[in-house]
Amino acid sequence: MTDTLDPFALGGRQDDAELLTLFRQWVEEERAVAKWGRENPDDEDGFNRRAAIGWERLRLVAAMPAVSAVGLAVKAYLLTWLETGGSCHDAPALSSLGDGKYLSDEIWLSLVRDLPAFVPELRPLVTEAVTLPTGAVGAA
């Protein structure tokens, strides 16, 4: 007998496939809600009912433990999205991570810039956010 914990001893999937599926569903729902809102600007109740589906997906993601870098990347992305707001161009995408004047902006940008290495489909969602304004700390 060994004291080493076997991560596969519990059976079932030992990856973040379900978490990634929930994330993908959230992305599509955010886009659908944004489109619906543009097409029905006077129906706030309808918009809120549809948006609630996406919020429920986020709660499911929050309740699910990440077991790999993929899960952590998804959760880091979603936290960043919640803290900074979505893009007006693409609802589930990031728009801005500060003005680049503070060290925290640089760290946040660095984190977000690295996420697609673990979840490649995040690349188009972070592109706008990782472009620093000219003259900002860390800008090219």
**pLDDT of 78-113, one tens digit each?**
998 988 877 778 888 887 776 667 788 788 888 888
What pLDDT is recorded for position 28?
A: 94
Domain assignment of residue 50, given as a range:
17-126
| Whether residue 6 has pLDDT greater than 70 | no
DSSP secondary structure, 13-24, as one string: --SSHHHHHHHH
**Position 5 confidence tier, pLDDT thresholds 50, 70, 90:** very low
Residues 77 and 115: beta-carbon distance below 8 Å: yes
What pLDDT is recorded for position 24?
A: 95
What is the 8-class DSSP label of residue 94?
A: B
Average pLDDT over residues 16-41: 93
Q: Is residue 46 part of a domain?
A: yes
What pLDDT is recorded for position 11?
A: 53
Positive or negative: CA dihedral 90, 91, 92, 98: positive
Residue type at position 89 = H
Name the burial class of residue 26, with classes exposed (0-12), middle (13-18) and buried (19+) by CB atoms within 10 angstroms of its CB.
buried
The label of the residue with tokens 């500060």 reads 98
Nearest CA among 76, 56, 81 for reference residue 66: 76
Is the backbone of residue 6 left (phi > 0), alpha (psi -120 to 50) or beta? Answer: beta
| Whether residue 13 has pLDDT greater than 70 | no
Q: Is residue 133 part of a domain?
A: no
Mean confidence (pLDDT) of the chain: 82
- What's the number of domains the chain is made of? 1
Q: Specify which residues 7 forms β-bridges with.
A: none
Average pLDDT over residues 14-20: 89
Q: Is residue 30 part of a domain?
A: yes
Q: Lowest-pLDDT range, 28-42, 50-64, 87-101?
A: 87-101
Q: Is residue 131 part of a domain?
A: no
Cα–Cα dist 71/13, whole Å: 13
Q: Is residue 80 part of a domain?
A: yes
**Position 1 confidence tier, pLDDT thresholds 50, 70, 90:** very low
Q: Is residue 132 part of a domain?
A: no
Q: Is residue 5 part of a domain?
A: no
Q: Is residue 92 part of a domain?
A: yes
Q: Lowest-pLDDT range, 5-9, 29-33, 88-92, 94-98?
A: 5-9
